[in-house]
Amino acid sequence: MQNVYHVQTPENVSLEFELAGPGSRGVAVAIDMLIQGVFLIIVSVILLIMTGESQLNLMLIQDNSVYVIIGLLLIFVMQFGYFFLFEAFMKGATPGKKIVGLNVMMANGEPLSVTASLIRNLIRIGDMLPGIYAVGIFSVVFTQRFMRIGDLAANTVVVKKKKGKNAFGVRSTSASEHRNPILSPREEALLREYWERRRSLRNPLNYIPLEAQLYHHFYTKVGLVPNLPNNFTRKQYLEQLMAYVGIV
């Protein structure tokens, strides 16, 4: 059974997202921890080479203060910085989440903010207690929106990214060939409303809140569309989406 999460837009239209459950979230975390482990092994080998030791025991290395600091710093960065940096600057997805098809977003439907990413990952240590994410698993299982402690503090949710026909690797076609095979009439109306707001000269800023919500909804549902530049903005994504489905 899919767990659908509804977000209400200012136009009183409900956007739908499928919440990620404990299973898919657990697989994503396991992949991320595997990546972290591989990185730490590589760093450990480098430290062994630097110290000339046969085994890495930072507390037994002569004049070990520098290596202890380096080791502790790397552990902290990998445990907290890994998740924070990927989620904050890679559209709410770590490598593990990207492989599984998950995204973190704000509970109001907007893309994950840097501040929220920082909060949810600093509190990760609470989710890990007393070991193997026991508190986090308990919280995800018994909260209505599958939210761990960090999600509750940052007001974020984890959703499944839907794979549309024009997701990664789609063949570019003409507007007549792909005229809106994936958007509902309600979604088309929202995009047209957004377009009209952008063209309005009376209040050119009143489209920005809607833009953030629409971007995250359609990026989660549709994925990439043709002709997007590198490091595209929300506005550029919506422009290319509307051009792709023939709205503009």
Q: Which positions ≥6 away from 158 have C-beta within 8 Å?
A: 19, 20, 25, 97, 102, 103, 104, 105, 146, 151
Contact present, 129 and 118 (Cβ < 8 Å): no
Q: Is the dihedral of CA 99, 102, 106, 111 positive or negative?
A: positive
Domain residue limits, the chain: 4-160, 185-245
pTM: 0.66
Output the pLDDT for position 172: 37
Question: If you ran DSSP here, which 8-state letter would residue 58 be given?
Answer: G
Please give the chain's pLDDT, 248 residues, in tens. Answer: 458 888 876 656 677 888 999 999 999 999 999 999 898 888 777 777 766 665 555 555 555 566 667 777 877 788 788 999 999 988 899 999 999 999 999 988 888 999 999 999 999 888 888 877 889 889 998 898 899 999 999 999 999 986 544 333 333 333 334 445 568 888 888 888 888 877 776 666 567 777 888 888 888 888 888 888 878 888 899 988 888 888 87
- Tally of CB atoms within 10 A around 116: 24
